[in-house]
Amino acid sequence: MSAWFDYWNDLGPLGDFLLPRTITDADFRLDDPVAKIFYNGVWNWPVAWRDLFPVLIQLDHLHLEPSKPDRLLWKDDGEINEFSSSAVWHSVRHREPEVDWCSFVWFAQCIPRHAFMMWLIMKGKLLTQDKILQWDLSRRKNMNMMCCLLCYENFDSHSHLFFKCKFSSQVWLMVRNRVGMSFVCPRWVDIVDWLRVRARSKKAHVYVAMILVAATAYSIWQERNARLFENQLRPPKTVSDIILKTVRYKLMGAKLKNTDRVRKLLGEWEITKESENDGG
C-alpha cells in the first residue's frame, strides 16, 4: 500500500499536501509503502514535518492493522467507492443526454444488425447519394445521372428511402398491417412517432412492431445496396416476404410470456408450440 498516494487513513492520501520534492528531500521514495513511514508504532518522518504540516498530528491515534488486506478504491467527483471496471468506465466515458429513441432502437431480444442499422438511420449516418454530392464537388456536374436505384426518381436520402420512395413505400404498405400500424403513413417521422409513444411498453405486439420496423429498414437498405453493387433487383413483394419471414423466425426463438394474448399473437404469425420448439 502506497504511503503517499493510497487511502489508508482518514486524512486521505498524504501526497495531497506533501509535495513529491518534500518527500524525496526527507530521503523517502515516492513508491514507499506505509511500513516505511510507520514501524513499531513510531512515525519515521522528520520531526519538523509536525510543525510544517500540523495535520499529521491527527495520525498519532491511528492504529494500523498490518493483517488487513488492501482494498482498491476509485475516486469520482470527490466520492470514494469500491473499484470496479464498470465504475471506472462510467467515470471516464463521454456522456450525453439519453435520446428519446434509444428504447426502440436498442431493446431486449432485438436483432443486433437491424438495431445497428436503426441507430445509423436515427443518427443520419448512412452514406446516401445526397451526402456524396455534398462531399464531392466534382460530381455536381453529374447530379442528373444519380438517382434512387429503387424508384429511379430523385437521388436517395434518408427521408426518401424511409419511406417516400415509391418502392420502399410499397414495401411498408405490405407489411405494416401485420403489426397494427395500418394507419401509419410511409414516412419515417410518422413511424418514429408511433414507436416513441409505445417504446417502453412491455406488450408483445409492440415488441413485434419494433422488430418489423427495424427489419423493414434493414431490408430496404440491403435492397438498395444489392442493386448498386451486385445489380440484383427484387420486386417489393419479394422484399416484403423476406421481412415477414425474418420477423416470424425471430418470434419462433423469442422468449415471450406464455399468455393467451401472446399465444394468439403467435398464432397470427402461424407459430404453434411445435413450430416454436422447432425454431428454438
Position 280 confidence tier, pLDDT thresholds 50, 70, 90 = very low
- Say which residues have a Cβ less than 8 Å from residue 133's Cβ, sequence separation at least 6: 139, 140, 143, 146, 155
Determine the Cα–Cα distance for residues 45 and 198; give it in Å rounded to an integer.
Answer: 66
- Say which residues have a Cβ less than 8 Å from residue 179's Cβ, sequence separation at least 6: 205, 208, 209, 212
Determine the Cα–Cα distance for residues 82 and 71; give it in Å rounded to an integer.
Answer: 8
Summarize pLDDT for 110-147 with one digit per residue, the tens.
999 999 999 999 999 999 988 877 775 665 555 556 78
Q: 45 is written with which cell numbers?
A: 518522518
- Name the pTM for this structure: 0.68
| Domain range annotation of the chain | 14-92, 102-279
Q: What's the pLDDT score for residue 279?
A: 38
> What letters, b where the CB count within 10 A reaches 16 and e where it falls short, cover 186-204?
bebeebbebbeebbeeeeb
Instruction: Tell me how far apart the terminal alpha carbons of the chain are, to the nearest angstrom.
Output: 52
Q: What's the pLDDT score for residue 273?
A: 57
Summarize pLDDT for 246-264 with one digit per residue, the tens.
999 999 999 999 999 999 9
Burial class (CB in 10 A: 0-12, 13-18, 19+), 105: buried
